[in-house]
């Protein structure tokens, strides 16, 4: 007889199929809503049989949303092979002595445990409690658990740990007691943990640590004390921690570092002292930590740097952001192996010639959000490996000639939000490896010919929000590899279309917020690889044939917030791959077929917020693949009924805010794929059968803010597949079951902010799939609201598509 057969014989045979337990990835069986031993055994057996689980693949057992009040020492006999047990979102009355003899890992999450008897676990190696209230660790908390290697308690509201709590766990390697409410630790609490390598007691409220707290922890490598209330550190606190490599002290209230506090941490590699209140660091505090590689001092109150990093020859990362530094002393980083330096959000006004002398390995510098107005021409000369330089949000008015002459490795240069008015010729000549250049929010008035002539590797260029008044023919010469270009929010009144001949690799182009009224035909004909073009918020009044000639790969065209009132026939000719077209917020008054030739692949067409009053029904014959049509906020209040006869694939139509009072019968009948219809912000007043013509597959209907004051019986009788009905923000006073007759699949009804004052909760009883009824903002008795919320508590909508 096989081991699995023996196991099955130990479990009571079941006569009714159950799926309370299921086999999961990770060699575990997960059981939900368990309330008795018999139910448990039956469900496990059925899972093993149903999913053909082999004994060697059943090593974990998980309980979710269960009430476990039946545990006995013999409950898990026959389950000796199970090594991991988890209780999640459950209530456990008692875990008796001897319940788990061979268990290695025990986890309780978001649960309640009333009692755990002594010797409940034998041979346990790992215990994990989270989001489960445990107020205290008594002295014998881990008695008979000398095999424990990991203890993890977080988010437990733990307030007290008694002295000696860990004395019976000498083999502990990892100890996590974070996100609790500890204010102090007993003296010598860790004295027996001579093998421990990780201690995390962050995110508590610890105010003080005795100098002997960590005495004897010679194998400790990682110590996390962040997010506590420590204001001072004893000089001997870290003595003897010869193996410590990672120390976290962030977000305490530390104002000063006592001399010698890190003197014996000769293996330290990473230290985080960020988000404290340190004003001064004296006497090279890290000089006795020769292995240190990373120091985070960000968000303190440092006003000066004085030999802080002396002796730190392996130091490669320093974060000093968010302090009060006003200068960088020459040589302050000398002798380090610095590769990453963050000095952002300080008050630094200038960079001297010797600031980075000798830092030949430096790759990234961030100076964002300082007060820089002056940089010496030779400041970066020693930075031969510099790849990333961020000078955003400063007060630079000019860049000295030669500033980048030795920075040939530079790939990313950020100069946005300064006061630069002119780029000197030759300033970028040596940046032959530059990939990205940001010059947004400056005062640049023109781009001199040849300024980018050597930037042949550049892929991204941003020069939004400057004072460019024109683009010359040679403006972009040299940047033939660029794929992303934005020159928006400039007072541009003239563009020489020859400028685009240099941009043969461009894929994304933004020309928003400029002053051009028109573009010559074929102006963009060189941009054969552009897939997204944004010409928004301009004074463009019309589109002409040939405007987009040559843009064979254009798939997304945004022409919103312009003054377009006329589209010449053939304006979109050649755009065989156009997928998305937005003409929102223009001055169009009608839509005719000739406007949209060559648009067979179009799937999104959005024309909202124009003054369109008529639609040529034959127009939509040109869009056999159209899925989304937005006609909201126009003047389509006199629809004839034949407008949508050629849209068999459309799934979404927006006709909101058109002043519609009635609709032709069967206007939506040809829309055999339509699932979402927005008719909100119209003027229907009274709804009756036929007021809203049905569509065969409609699932979502939005009628909010449509002045509806009455719905007559059987209005929705033909809406068999409707799932979501939004009638909010109307003036309905009464609700009856007859109003919604026919809505056999309805999931949600939105009735918020009407004037409903009387409602029988039984009105919704005949809708078997109804899960949510929203009635907020009416005049209903609170008791009725409570009943409705109890009956229909499900959150959210079924599905809703909104066009951006």
**Six-digit token string for 442:** 């400056």
Residue range 69-73: average pLDDT? 87
Q: Does the pLDDT at position 801 exceed 90? A: no
Judge whether 98 lies within some domain. Answer: yes
Q: Does the pLDDT at position 418 exceed 60? A: yes
Exposure string for 251-261, b = 16+ CB within 10 A, e = fewer: bbebebbbeeb
pLDDT confidence of residue 526: 94
pLDDT tens sequence across 596-613:
888 889 999 999 999 999
Judge whether 108 lies within some domain. Answer: yes
pLDDT confidence of residue 7: 34
pLDDT confidence of residue 533: 97
**Neighbouring-strand partners of residue 557:** 533, 581
CB 81 within 8 A of CB 61: no
SS3 labels along 362-381 = CCEEECCCCCCCEECCCCCC
**199-203 contacts at long range (C-beta below 8 A, 24 or more positions apart):** 199/175, 199/223, 199/224, 200/175, 200/176, 200/224, 201/177, 201/225, 201/228, 202/178, 202/226, 202/227, 202/228, 202/248, 203/178, 203/179, 203/227, 203/228
- Looking at per-residue pLDDT, the higher value among 789 and 276 belongs to 276
Judge whether 90 lies within some domain. Answer: yes
Identify the helix (H) or strand (E) that includes residue 774: strand 772-774
Least confident of 17-26, 122-131, 643-652: 17-26
CB 656 within 8 A of CB 629: no
Judge whether 737 lies within some domain. Answer: no
Domain count, the chain: 1
Judge whether 113 lies within some domain. Answer: yes
In the structure, what pLDDT confidence band is assigned to residue 313 with cuts at 50, 70 and 90?
very high
Query: Under 8 Å CB-to-CB from 187, ≥6 apart: which residues?
Result: 163, 210, 212, 213
pLDDT tens sequence across 721-762:
999 999 999 999 999 999 999 999 999 999 999 999 988 889
d(CA 82, CA 261): 47
Q: Does the pLDDT at position 417 exceed 80? A: yes
Pairing type for strands 532-534 and 556-558 reads: parallel
pLDDT confidence of residue 17: 38
Please tell me what DSSP assigns to residue 265: -
How much of the chain exceeds pLDDT 70, in percent? 96
pLDDT confidence of residue 653: 97
Query: Under 8 Å CB-to-CB from 71, ≥6 apart: which residues?
Result: 92, 93, 94, 95, 96, 99
pLDDT confidence of residue 794: 64
Q: Does the pLDDT at position 140 exceed 80? A: no
Q: Does the pLDDT at position 208 exceed 80? A: yes
Q: Does the pLDDT at position 803 exceed 80? A: no
Judge whether 42 lies within some domain. Answer: yes
Write phi, then psi, for 5 (nearest 5 degrees): -65, -40
pLDDT confidence of residue 13: 31
Q: Does the pLDDT at position 679 exceed 70? A: yes
pLDDT tens sequence across 372-415:
999 999 999 999 999 999 999 999 999 999 999 999 999 999 99
List the domain range (segments joined by +) for residue 118: 1-124
pLDDT confidence of residue 142: 78
Judge whether 454 lies within some domain. Answer: no
In the structure, what pLDDT confidence band is assigned to residue 283 with cuts at 50, 70 and 90?
confident
Residue range 268-278: average pLDDT? 97
In the structure, what pLDDT confidence band is assigned to residue 795 with cuts at 50, 70 and 90?
low
CATH number for the domain harbouring residue 7: 3.80.10.10
Q: Does the pLDDT at position 183 exceed 60? A: yes
DSSP string, 70-125: ---TTTTTT-TT--EEEEES-EE--B-TTSBSS--EEEEES-EE--B-TT-BSS--
d(CA 677, CA 80): 59
Judge whether 51 lies within some domain. Answer: yes
Closest CA to 254 of 221, 220, 199, 302: 302
How much of the chain exceeds pLDDT 90, in percent? 76
Closest CA to 341 of 321, 365, 369: 365
């Amino acid at each position: 007889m096989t081991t699995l057969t023996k196991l099955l014989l130990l479990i009571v045979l079941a006569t009714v199929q159950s799926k309370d337990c299921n086999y999961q990835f990770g060699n575990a069986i997960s059981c939900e809503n368990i309330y008795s031993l018999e139910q448990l055994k039956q469900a496990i057996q059925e899972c093993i049989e149903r999913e053909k689980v082999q004994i060697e693949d059943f090593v974990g057992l998980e309980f979710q949303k269960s009430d476990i009040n039946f545990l006995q020492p013999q409950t898990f006999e026959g389950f000796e092979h199970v090594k991991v047990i988890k209780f999640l979102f459950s209530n456990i009355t008692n875990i008796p002595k001897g319940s788990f003899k061979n268990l290695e890992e025990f986890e309780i999450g978001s649960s309640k445990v009333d009692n755990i008897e002594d010797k409940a676990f034998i041979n346990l190696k790992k215990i994990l409690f989270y989001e489960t209230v445990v107020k205290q660790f008594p002295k014998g908390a881990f008695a008979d658990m000398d095999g424990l290697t990991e203890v993890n308690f977080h988010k437990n509201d733990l307030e007290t740990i008694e002295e000696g709590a860990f004395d019976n766990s000498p083999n502990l390697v990892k100890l996590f007691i974070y996100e609790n409410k500890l204010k102090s630790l007993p003296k010598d609490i860790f004295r027996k943990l001579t093998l421990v390598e990780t201690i995390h007691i962050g995110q508590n409220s610890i105010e003080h640590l005795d100098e002997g707290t960590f005495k004897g922890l010679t194998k400790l490598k990682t110590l996390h004390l962040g997010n506590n209330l420590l204001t001072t550190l004893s000089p001997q606190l870290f003595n003897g921690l010869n193996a410590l490599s990672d120390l976290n002290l962030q977000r305490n209230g530390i104002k000063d570092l006592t001399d010698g506090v890190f003197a014996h941490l000769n293996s330290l590699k990473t230290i985080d002292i960020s988000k404290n209140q340190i004003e001064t660091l004296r006497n090279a505090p890290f000089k006795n930590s020769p292995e240190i590689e990373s120091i985070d001092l960000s968000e303190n109150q440092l006003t000066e740097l004085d030999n802080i990093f002396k002796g730190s020859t392996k130091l490669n990362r320093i974060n000093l952001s968010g302090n009060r530094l006003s200068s960088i002393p020459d040589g302050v980083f000398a002798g380090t192996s610095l590769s990453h330096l963050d000095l952002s959000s300080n008050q630094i006004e200038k960079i001297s010639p010797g600031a980075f002398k000798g830092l030949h390995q430096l790759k990234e510098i961030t100076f964002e959000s300082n007060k820089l107005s002056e940089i010496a021409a030779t400041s970066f000369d020693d930075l031969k490996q510099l790849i990333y330089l961020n000078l955003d949000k400063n007060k630079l008015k000019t860049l000295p000639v030669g500033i980048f002459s030795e920075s040939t490795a530079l790939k990313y240069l950020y100069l946005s939000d300064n006061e630069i008015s002119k780029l000197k010729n030759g300033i970028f000549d040596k940046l032959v490896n530059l990939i990205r250049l940001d010059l947004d929010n400056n005062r640049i008035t023109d781009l001199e010919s040849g300024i980018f002539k050597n930037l042949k590797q550049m892929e991204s260029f941003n020069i939004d929000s400057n004072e460019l008044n024109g683009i010359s023919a040679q403006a972009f010469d040299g940047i033939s590899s660029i794929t992303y270009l934005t020159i928006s929010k400039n007072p541009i009144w003239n563009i020489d279309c020859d400028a685009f001949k240099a941009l043969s690799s461009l894929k994304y182009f933004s020309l928003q917020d400029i002053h051009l009224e028109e573009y010559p035909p074929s102006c963009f004909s060189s941009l054969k690889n552009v897939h997204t073009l944004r010409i928004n918020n301009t004074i463009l009044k019309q589109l002409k044939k040939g405007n987009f000639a040559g843009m064979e790969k254009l798939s997304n065209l945004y022409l919103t917030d312009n003054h377009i009132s006329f589209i010449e026939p053939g304006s979109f000719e050649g755009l065989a791959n156009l997928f998305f077209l937005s003409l929102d917020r223009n001055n169009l008054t009608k839509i005719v077929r000739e406007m949209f030739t060559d648009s067979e692949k179009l799937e999104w067409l959005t024309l909202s917020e124009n003054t369109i009053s008529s639609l040529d029904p034959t127009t939509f014959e040109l869009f056999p693949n159209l899925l989304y049509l937005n006609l909201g906020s126009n003047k389509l209040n006199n629809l004839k009924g034949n407008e949508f006869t050629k849209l068999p694939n459309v799934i979404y139509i927006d006709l909101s805010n058109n002043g519609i009072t009635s609709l032709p019968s069967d206007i939506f009948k040809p829309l055999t794929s339509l699932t979402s219809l927005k008719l909100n912000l119209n003027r229907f007043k009274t709804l009756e059968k036929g007021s809203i013509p049905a569509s065969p597959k409609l699932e979502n209907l939005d009628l909010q803010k449509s002045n509806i004051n009455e719905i007559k019986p059987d209005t929705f009788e033909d809406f068999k597949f409707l799932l979501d009905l939004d009638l909010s923000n109307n003036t309905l006073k009464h609700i009856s079951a007859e109003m919604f007759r026919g809505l056999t699949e309805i999931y949600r009804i939105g009735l918020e902010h009407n004037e409903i004052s009387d409602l029988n909760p039984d009105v919704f009883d005949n809708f078997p799939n109804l899960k949510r009824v929203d009635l907020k903002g009416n005049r209903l008795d609170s008791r009725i609201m409570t009943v409705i919320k109890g009956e229909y508590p499900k959150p959210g909508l079924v599905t809703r598509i909104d066009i951006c």
